[in-house]
A and B are shown apart, each in its own frame.
Chain A
Amino acid sequence: MTATQSAGPAPEGLSRVEGPLKLTGAARYATDHRPDGVLHAVLVGAPVAAGRLRGVDGSAARALPGVTAVLTAADLPAFPELPPPSAVHVMPFADDRIRYEGQPVAIVLAESVEAAEAGRAAVAVDCEREAPVLIGHGHREPVMGEDRGDVDAVLADTHVEPATEASKSLYAVPALRLRQLVERVSLNVPTPMRAPVEGPGLWALESAMNELADAAGLDPLDVRLANFAEVSPADGRPWSANGLCEAYQEGARRYGWRTRHERPRRDGPWVIGHGMATCTMGSFRFPGASRVRLRRDGAVVEANVHDIGTGVQTVLGQIAADELGISPDRVEMRWGDTDLPRTGPTYGSSTTVGTGSAVAAAARDVTKQLAELGQGGRDPLEALDRAGIDELVGEGTFELPGGAGFNADGAGTPYAIRTWGVIFTEVGVDPDFGLLRLRRAVGVYSAGRIVNPITARAQMTGGIIWGWGKATMEESDQEPTSGRWLAKNLSNVAVPVNADIPADIDVSFTDEYDETASLIGARGIGELGATGVDAAVAAAVHDAVGVRVRDLPILPWKVLAGL
């Protein structure tokens, strides 16, 4: 299904349209909007990590200046359970059980944030305290498993992966056994972020692949090439498109992987190591609608999407311009308003696939109407003028098999849909301190048609940076005496800053058009860049100083302990 097709504008792409607003500080974010009469809400959290709520007394808080209300469970409606793919199913205020410290037990409403925060401190929460369950000490229970083939003949022992999505999708295997265990502890479920499905499991799988290569005395790239899956290992379906082998080869060429150990191994105090890993993400697709209004001076795209900084405004306008055959600067984007045509959510790397397809369909509807008016084949603005019409409205939708509201990995179609890639990293290790520094990275990705190379490259670069943070810095500690999170603000949780990131991050894409995945040939890209980086970095550390760190993040004292 892979075909080369050059669609769209100049190959270098378009800079993001909202860039000047953000750079000049003129962009308005949610908190910049202050409607009249707005109140500020602050959540009051349970002060213990496990136990039962006996009562909440908000009377002292209500008496404070600026506080207008203190809401408890009795004042609130019953919140329904959230459907998948949400990671959190049970909403707070459902019962009196305290499952984690900070679990909301009341809401303070006030005329200012400061007053609301003062109110929070004045709310008296009465609860029965139980001993918190710490990570590593909770009850473990199996939640899901599946077998394919004669597993017992292949594996002597049960193979357990904490998150098995990547394991069932990546390598050709004669048989597969997947098991997941969930450990129940006194902590809240993290909000889904950054490849929440594949990310954790892929760290284990790709680390295991690297250790397997080392144990076998093989190049880790060759181990991947030898185990490439021609069809989906989970169910034998053919891939909608899969350029992973090409990505491996191109990435190795760009990085100089085969000659890595011929280059100097030291740079001042830094010992240099190299590591690689496969990247993969499932494919989330959501249905949605969009509208394109063609006017004499240009087109207006309407969709109720939400732009979280990924370039949605740029890309959707660009898709409409491509389809209509007009310049992108003649397209205006209207978004972020629930009165506009309803689209899918902004998560799961799904917006370009779903909403982009709906926009393309709406533009094609306009083109079709122009043809019906006898104005086909012309510049559409000129055609509108000739037809004496002020506005033509095209409607478009993106729909899923069986009218589903959500579709993962092409379920219900003859094809398995996923995204692929490879990441190579060069890491410096200072053995005096156990410090790591990223020196360069090469990522090559197979993700269908790339609508806008500039914003696509920015997303993948951001993913790699995020992956570096996951690999080397970010840690949320469960405080052992209380069971709550040790730090609740970023002053004690490091994420990468510019100084951590070298200029030499080389991102490219294989040339593909995936007509199965979407109307526009694209698959999702956003989170793909964040996958694999952790395992590649761990392999690079091992390559540099021979220390194998298996628990993230790879902090200095873990490296020092192995030296």
Chain B
Amino acid sequence: MKDFGYARASTAEAAVQTLTGRQTAVIAGGTELLNWFRLGIAAADRVVDIGGLDELRGITRDGDELRIGALATLNEVGEHPLVRQAAAALASACLQAASAQIRNRATIGGNVLQRTRCPYFRAEEPLPWPCNKRDPGSGCTSLAGRHERQAIFGWTQDCVAVQPSDPAVALAALDAQADVLGPAGPRTIPMREFHLTQREAAALGEPMRETRLGPDELITGYRLPVSPGGQAYVKVRERASYEYAIVSAAAAVRLNQNRIDAARVALGSVAQRPWRLGAAEAELPGTPLTREALIPVIERAMADAAPLPQNGFKVTMARNAAVRALLTAGGAS
């Protein structure tokens, strides 16, 4: 880890103006950036601290829209009555993320920018094997090596990693928008499009790009439409706390009698972005809220899954997570 300069930003605009050079990093909670520095994943000459910007705080509701500032910590989001009431899947995802100590520091803005937990990517320096994310063009060792926890959708020969954020899955399922600020001013990015699969990034001509956020842009907050119905976030992990998901699922369900009226569902840790099951969402209205009825719908929506040799189980596990999330959101389990 090399020495770096440190400054506190006075406004969000001022912080953005420092981002023109690649050697500047933004710090808020600091729970991820310092990992990158120590492992050699990133190095910066300057670190700009946005943690003191009150304009990026706060959780409010304005009519049918929930607004969450980028600096709200995961525990603040997860425990806030407005979020629990209007975006229960997001609250649950936040509270199932990381550990209590990390949730007290980590911000909802930075959380979606965390990078993959792939052990090949997270290796110490000097990097012991090829990894295209660490050393572009060197190759992907996980593909030929171990990949139980890697992607079943959207991967390429260049990279098979998944995005590990829990809140990102709920934000995508709930049709949240990220408010971002860049040199040209503010804009919004839908959270279901915020992250890129390796295949999408390759199509953009930037195979190692992971999000649509520009290098000189800052997330300032999120806006979520509030809609009636139940929600759930199901996280599957061998350890009961403080562990990344093997797979996860976020769901929102509105019922009419015992049948689904409308549903949204996204899978986590199956791709480099939250994986909305759009085909299932189109088919679910009118479907009874039962395990037997849901399984074939989800299976059809996951028909394009492309598991790697060691992670075929993820298809079954993700299907079951989606079914469990829908049943729980609908109040059936």
Contact = CB atoms under 8 A, between A and B. Distances in A.
Most chain B CB neighbours (cut-off 10 Å) among A472, A477, A492, A557: A557
Contacts of B282: none
B324 A560 contact: no
Interface string B135-179: 000000100111010000000000000000000000000000000
Nearest to B242: A497
B144 A481 contact: yes
Contacts of B238: 435-436, 472-473, 494, 555-556
B264 to A, nearest CB: 21
Nearest to A555: B238
B117 interface: yes
A435 B124 CA distance: 30
B226 interface: no
Contacts of B40: 121
Contact of B148 (A491, A498, A557): A557
Interface stretch (A182-190, A228-236, A482-490): A482-490
Contacts of A472: 238
Contacts of A556: 236, 238, 246, 313, 317
Given A433-B236, A500-B239, A121 B321 contact: no
Instruction: Give the bracket for the number of chain B residues in contact with chain A.
Output: 35 or more
A498 B101 CA distance: 14
Interface in A428-486: 432-437, 472-473, 477, 479-482, 484, 486
A418 to B, nearest CB: 33
A47 B126 contact: yes
B123 A488 contact: yes
Given A479-B145, A480-B146, A494 B313 contact: no
A432 B320 contact: yes
A561 B313 contact: yes
Contacts of A268: 333
B314 to A, nearest CB: 8
Contacts of B316: 560
A486 B313 contact: no
Interface string A482-524: 1010111101101011111000000000000000000000000
Interface in A525-563: 555-557, 560-561
A500 B240 contact: yes
Given A497-B241, A555-B238, A482 B128 contact: yes
Nearest to B241: A499
A491 to B, nearest CB: 6
A497 B242 CA distance: 8
B55 interface: no
A477 B122 contact: no
B36 interface: no
Nearest to B311: A557
A481 B125 CA distance: 18
A479 B123 CA distance: 12
Interface in B304-325: 313, 316-317, 320-321, 323-324
B119 interface: yes
Given A437-B240, A500-B241, A556-B238, A432 B146 contact: no
Given A118-B2, A491-B117, A481 B129 contact: yes
Interface residues of A, number: 39
Nearest to A102: B128
Contact of A121 (B125, B237, B313, B333): B125
A560 B317 contact: yes
B42 interface: no
Nearest to A433: B236
A379 interface: no
Interface string B98-138: 01000000000000000001011011111011000000000
A25 interface: no
A388 B148 CA distance: 75
A494 B128 contact: no
Given A479-B129, A488-B124, A560-B316, A432 B324 contact: yes
A479 B146 contact: yes
A284 to B, nearest CB: 32
A47 B128 contact: yes
A505 B275 CA distance: 40
Interface string A244-255: 000000000000
Contact of A491 (B122, B126, B145, B246): B122
B243 interface: yes
A486 B146 contact: yes
Contacts of B148: 557
Contacts of B145: 479-482, 486
A560 to B, nearest CB: 5
B31 to A, nearest CB: 12
Nearest to A554: B238
A53 to B, nearest CB: 17
A60 to B, nearest CB: 13
A260 to B, nearest CB: 24
Contacts of B239: 473, 494, 496-497, 499-500
Nearest to B318: A433
A165 interface: no
B14 interface: no
Contacts of A484: 128
Nearest to B323: A432
B167 to A, nearest CB: 19
B1 interface: yes
A496 B246 CA distance: 16
A509 to B, nearest CB: 29
Given A47-B126, A556-B246, A433 B321 contact: yes
A555 B316 CA distance: 15
Interface of B: 1-2, 40, 99, 117, 119-120, 122-126, 128-129, 141, 144-146, 148, 236-243, 246, 313, 316-317, 320-321, 323-324, 333
Per CB-CB distance, the 4 closest pairs between chain A and chain B, nearest first, are: A499-B241, A432-B320, A499-B240, A557-B313
14 contacts: A433-B317, A433-B320, A433-B321, A437-B240, A473-B238, A479-B145, A482-B141, A486-B119, A486-B120, A491-B117, A497-B239, A499-B241, A556-B238, A556-B317
